[in-house]
Structure 1
């Protein structure tokens, strides 16, 4: 009996001490909140612009060349967010490609422990056997570097990453881009919400896992045009430094989303290393975010700069598109131009019309405006490989260097299939602003 009584006292003490720990050491008996949490202060990510939240009329304000009138003009509200001030450039996308290349080289070919994070003294290795790449070491000792103590040994080990046999040209070592694949995972929150009361579902049922080849399709410069001498663009647009600050093209919707997932991971790693909380995930803008940002706070205008004209008072064209009957060079570029060309709109965003059209997160449905909500509206659908092609359409906005002026209008919607790449479609990212709208703090 004494033993049982002693056991009850021990259990009671454990329960009480456990309750005390929930209070974070608080002994006043009052609710004070969890202590020791890291503070968070919203900062504008590099090369992004703060877009204040607001309400606008979403939809057609001028002519519709198809006369379909499928889009209903609708008043909607968009919460504040950050958006890339320019389209993602070749050099920024190449950082993603190189990260994937180096990761594969280190993990699958080099097997050199110096490239991995080493546990601190007295700290055991991860019990699962997982290892994390030490990117600071990689920066100082690049796997593909031609100099340094590891250069000769690495070159020998990395031969499997290059084209082999008859695929080689002039016996050059060129990366086999088919090997550059990125694996990532995302939560499908909408689907999880739809099945939230289904007890047969597991968490893993709502995790999307995808593997994407990351290198852009450079052949789009020939695929998109019949009998056009665009071979120089195939050879140099993504690889030559002259085009480093031009918008990346030849990327599918899935590749653009993979870039966003990688960018989120990059931000999380850097912020955690500094003891800071990261931003919310980077994503492609949804359709309402894109149109709201393109309008730049203006009401009822046709173009990001206002309008209704596509030239300024001096007769200069205000975007890169296909003027007249096809005078491509009249606006300053036969193809794409630098991502900071022309004047930004009132939000500070460049080329929200023209240069390259841009992928959005939203799935395309002709009647989406009739059934989406009026607060942060979007229609998303996660298409499966077995789905019909009509379900794989994604909204494309903004018009491009090869489009006529109609497609540059703020409200014009078009679509492309998520697994297709084009020489005139690029993208930019957004991330939600956390906290109270900045305009309310002034």
Structure 2
């Protein structure tokens, strides 16, 4: 009896699917004493996610496809299987991330101005669901209106140039609320209240534009600092200056706005957007070419016409030879066989995986992954996250689909971006 009691408590921690079961009809219209089943609440499932491509399930050899020139033995070739998922065809762009920034800005401004739905009460709480978005979208951020927002959102007088009021990027905080399912799934935590596994924290979400100067000593990159995220010419270029925590917050926000739209349309709630595991990333980057060195195959970084196949650091530093001095558009060059652009070069990409040198020796062969939710108080060794793909400033070795490297989760760089994945339910038959 104790075993069944544990199972019921554990399942109750799965929020979306469990809650959706109680939104269906409770009364069976066929009262004939036979088993007919009850469909979950919500209507049909969503279709193809915008800007994403499907990565089919399969098996591949994860790890080096050529000599490990560093001889560091952090990646051993092994066969693993990956379930199907959807992945962004391109890296997240400045325009994509700006939508996130503006949403946070508008929600905070609406809160300061008291733009809540009438049913939410006067206070509205901290939930963005209570905001009257029809009013929030009408807010104009000119000098006269900015003063109405007070010091909670705009620059303090001492931080202004020529006394001009403006939004303070450091005050754009996104509230993340999620369940720690890893802790909830532990046997010793069976029977614990679900409140014990709710995690809430705030993330400053504005990109660090100073990375263009910080990453390169004795180098003139001020124009990129001033224009890269702000100028429309770079709208379809990959967002950079975003650390791992900010990338995760973007995934949470993207899930929130998707689910809000699905609820309005009375459709089934889907899975969460997330960062790919390093195994998923490598599997997708290979594009079905399981033993190839690069997304386009073996063995060269140029095609037969001599054209470079990615944005990286050719030769000994001919940055302009590949057509881009820094980054390039996210849809530049040819996609791999899955339809994914720039899986090698342009910007390296965050994954969801914790970097452990010996991870390949103990990971499962089914959807392998090693995750650790590091705290700010943890030592630097525990804050490392796997980064894949190489970037515009890297040599050709880092373009290989199997090359592993890492960066600290609270560090932002001018050469690291990200893309999202989502696990969608199988299409329901009519």
Alignment TM-score, normalising by the size of structure 1: 0.86
1:332 aligns with 2:323: yes
From 90, 110, 114, the counterpart of 2:113: 110
**Partner SS for 2:162:** coil
Structure 2 equivalent of residue 174 of structure 1: 166
Q: Which moved more, 1:202-211 or 1:245-254?
A: 202-211
Picking from 182, 185, 198, the partner of 1:190 is 182
> Does the CA-based 8 Å contact 1:42-1:434 persist in structure 2?
no
On the 8 A contact 2:45/2:269 being kept in 1, the answer is: no
Question: Which range is displaced more, 40-49 or 326-335?
Answer: 40-49
**Residues 190-210 of structure 1 deviation map (CA, whole Å, 9 limit, x = unaligned):** 22222x343574323322222
- 1:46 and 1:136 map into 2 onto residues whose CA distance is 24
- Write out per-residue CA displacement over residues 284-328 of structure 1, whole angstroms, 9 at most, x where no aligned residue: 011111000000111210001112100011100000000100000
Within the candidate set 54, 67, 71, 2:71 is matched to: 67
Give distance in 1, aligned partners of 2:350 and 2:190. Answer: 36
Counterpart position of 1:382:
373
Distance in 2 of aligned mates of 1:159 and 1:117? 22
The equivalent residue for 1:311 is 302
SS at match of 1:268: helix
1:215 is paired with a residue whose SS is: coil
Identify the residue that residue 6 of structure 2 maps to in structure 1: none
When the two structures are superposed, what TM-score results if normalisation uses the length of structure 2? 0.88
CA distance in 1, matches of 2:394, 2:374: 28
- Answer whether contact 1:24 1:35 (CA < 8 A) is retained: no
Indicate the residue corresponding to 1:13 in structure 2: none
Gaps of 5+ in 1: 1-20
Partners in 2 of 1:106 and 1:220 — Cα distance? 31
Q: Distance in 2 between matches of 1:197 and 1:117?
A: 42
Q: From the superposition, tell whether residues 332 and 35 of structure 1 become closer, same or farther in structure 2 (CA, over 3 Å).
A: closer
- Distance in 2, matches of 1:70 and 1:27, equals 62
For residues 92-117 of structure 1, the C-alpha deviation after alignment (integer angstroms, 9 at most, x for no partner) is 1011011111111111x212xxx333
Correspondence for 2:8: none
Q: For the residues of structure 1 that align with 2:39 and 2:395, how far apart are their CA atoms?
A: 58
Map of 2:9 onto structure 1: none
- Please state how far the C-alpha of 1:73 moved relative to its aligned partner: 1.1
The separation in 1 between residues aligned to 2:299 and 2:276, in whole angstroms, is 25
Structure-2 residue corresponding to 1:288: 279
Give 1:222-371 correspondences, 5 Å limit.
Answer: 222-371=213-362
Shift of 1:185: 1.4
Match of 1:138 in 2: 136
Query: How big is the shift at 1:179?
Result: 0.6
The equivalent residue for 2:100 is 96
Are the aligned partners of 2:184 and 2:190 in contact in 1 as well (CA < 8 Å)?
no
- 1:10 aligns to what? none
- In structure 1, distance between residues paired with 2:264 and 2:43: 15
Looking at structure 2, the residues matched to 413 and 400 of structure 1 have their Cα atoms a distance apart, in angstroms, of 13
Q: Secondary structure at the match of 1:271?
A: helix
Aligned runs of 1:5-154 on 2, under 5 Å? 22-34=26-38, 37-107=41-111, 109-111=112-114, 115-119=115-119, 132-139=130-137, 141=138, 143-144=139-140, 154=145
Pick from 382, 398, 406: which aligns with 1:407? 398
The Cα shift of 1:126 comes to 10
Which digits, 9 at most, give the CA deviation of each residue in 1:115-142, with x for residues without a partner?
Answer: 33344xxxx9699977612324433x1x
1:70, CA displacement in angstroms? 2.8
CA contact (8 A) 2:146 2:154 kept: no
Alpha carbons of structure 1 residues 73 and 42: separation in structure 2 relative to 1, 3 Å: farther
Partner of 1:208: helix, strand, or coil?
A: strand
- Give CA-to-partner distance per residue, 1:365-404, whole Å, 9 cap, x none: 0111111111111000111222211011000000000000
Aligned residues: 402
Q: Would the aligned equivalents of 2:146 and 2:165 in 1 still touch at CA under 8 Å?
A: no
Query: Which consecutive residues of structure 2, in runs of 5 or more, have no partner in the other structure?
Result: 1-24
